[in-house]
Every structure is written in C-alpha cells, then in structure tokens.
C-alpha cells in the first residue's frame, strides 16, 4: 500500500439519500472537478464510471421518493 493511501481523502460509497453527498455531486457538476470534495466515492464493478453510477442512484432516489419504492 502506498503512503498516499494513508493521507488521501477517505473512500465512501455514494448514498443518494445523504444530503451532503448530493451537495458534493452538485458542486462537481458546477465546477467540473472533485477537488473540493472531502471524500472519494467508490465505483462498483457493475458501473463503468463514477458519474453514471451517481446519476443512476439519484434517479432511483427521486423516482422512489416521488412514486414510492417499487419491488425489483
């Protein structure tokens, strides 16, 4: 493990229900950089890139909020 792993920003999974996570994504959308985000978001294997992963989670979050959870 690199020394940078110890001093870098902590890793976390994006949670669309977390207001702070949504705020950090909005800041990324406006600025085009993750430079001010205090965490690094984990990209799961089934998603190709972070932005797509977050967009899909946000869509699911707001659809569920609007229409209620639908069994998958």
pLDDT in tens, 7-30: 789 999 999 999 999 999 999 999
Q: Is the pTM higher than 0.75?
A: yes
On whether residue 63 sits in a domain, the answer given is yes
Are 27 and 36 a contacting pair, CB within 8 Å?
A: yes
On whether residue 24 sits in a domain, the answer given is yes
Task: Tell me which residue range forms the domain holding 62.
Answer: 4-67
pLDDT in tens, 27-47: 999 999 999 999 999 998 777
**E strand intervals along 1-72:** 11-12, 40-41
On whether residue 60 sits in a domain, the answer given is yes
On whether residue 72 sits in a domain, the answer given is no
Which pLDDT value is given to residue 4?
Answer: 62
Structural domain total, the chain: 1
């Amino acid at each position: 493990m690199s020394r940078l792993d110890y001093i870098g920003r902590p890793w976390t999974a994006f949670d669309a229900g977390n207001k702070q996570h949504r705020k950090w994504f909005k800041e990324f959308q406006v600025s085009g950089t993750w430079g001010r985000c205090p965490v690094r978001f984990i990209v799961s294997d089934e998603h190709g890139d972070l932005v797509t992963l977050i967009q899909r989670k946000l869509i699911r979050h707001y659809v569920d909020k609007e229409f209620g959870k639908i069994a998958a």
